[in-house]
Structure formats: C-alpha cells, structure tokens
C-alpha cells in the first residue's frame, strides 16, 4: 500500500507542476545564443533546417510561398509558455536568409507576446 500511495503522490505532484506552469519550457533567448554559436554566417541551408528539426522547431521555407519576394528564407517558429502566473505566451520567429548557393547570409530572432 505504501508504494501505491507514493505513486499517487508523484502523479499529483506532476499534475500540480503542469497546472501551475512549472513544467520545462522553451527559452527563445537561449535558443538564439545556441543558433548564433552553432550556425555561423555561411552555414548551409540543410544544416539550418536540420538544427531546427532536431530542436523541434516548426520550419517553413520561402520556396513553398508563391508570392515570396527576396532571398531564399527559412523560418522557424516556436511558442514559449508564459512566465509563471502569466496569461501571455511568446511566439519566437527565427528568420534565416540565404544566398543563391544556399549559404546563410543573415539571421534574426523576433519575439511577439501573445495574450488572450
């Protein structure tokens, strides 16, 4: 019976942690630092896409957008859970632009609060 009670306690603690927003969340600034360190200017587009996929970041590519003007662009999008006791989330938009040889020429992070 003691093992059963311990399991119930663990399950209740996990449920409470999820309910209060204490679960692990994405940190856009930390990801930004990692991107700048691991994907320097000149990195191939395939390496950028692979990085985004490995980090479970949604990827979209300008090649699939009929009306896109400008350089080949890859966007990564992820939502950060709101800070504890906050109703707002933050959408992180990672923008990567490439030259004709599919080498990274620029990168930026834009963050937008999403509040109900």
pLDDT in tens, 64-86: 998 989 999 999 999 887 655 56
Name the residue range of residue 30's domain: 24-114
* Most confident of the ranges 1-5, 22-26, 51-55: 51-55
For residue 38, what are its two tokens?
């691991």
First-to-last CA distance in the chain? 44
Quick check: is 53 in a domain? yes
86 or 31, higher pLDDT: 31
The torsion angle over the Cα atoms of residues 71, 72, 78 and 83, rounded to 10 degrees, is -20
Indicate the number of domains in the chain.
1
6 within some domain: no
Domain for residue 28, yes or no? Answer: yes
pTM (2 d.p.): 0.73
* Residue 17: band (very low, low, confident or very high) from pLDDT cuts 50, 70, 90: very low
């Amino acid at each position: 019976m003691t093992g059963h009670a311990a399991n119930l306690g663990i399950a209740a603690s996990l449920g409470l942690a999820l309910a209060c927003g204490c679960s692990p969340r994405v940190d856009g600034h930390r990801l930004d630092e990692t991107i700048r360190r691991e994907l320097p200017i000149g990195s191939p587009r395939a390496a950028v896409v692979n990085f985004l996929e490995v980090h479970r970041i949604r990827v979209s590519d300008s090649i699939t957008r009929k009306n896109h003007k400008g350089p080949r662009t890859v966007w990564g999008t992820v939502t950060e859970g709101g800070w504890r006791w906050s109703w707002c989330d933050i959408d992180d938009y990672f923008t990567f632009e490439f030259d004709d040889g599919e080498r990274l020429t620029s990168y930026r992070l834009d963050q937008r609060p999403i509040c109900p």
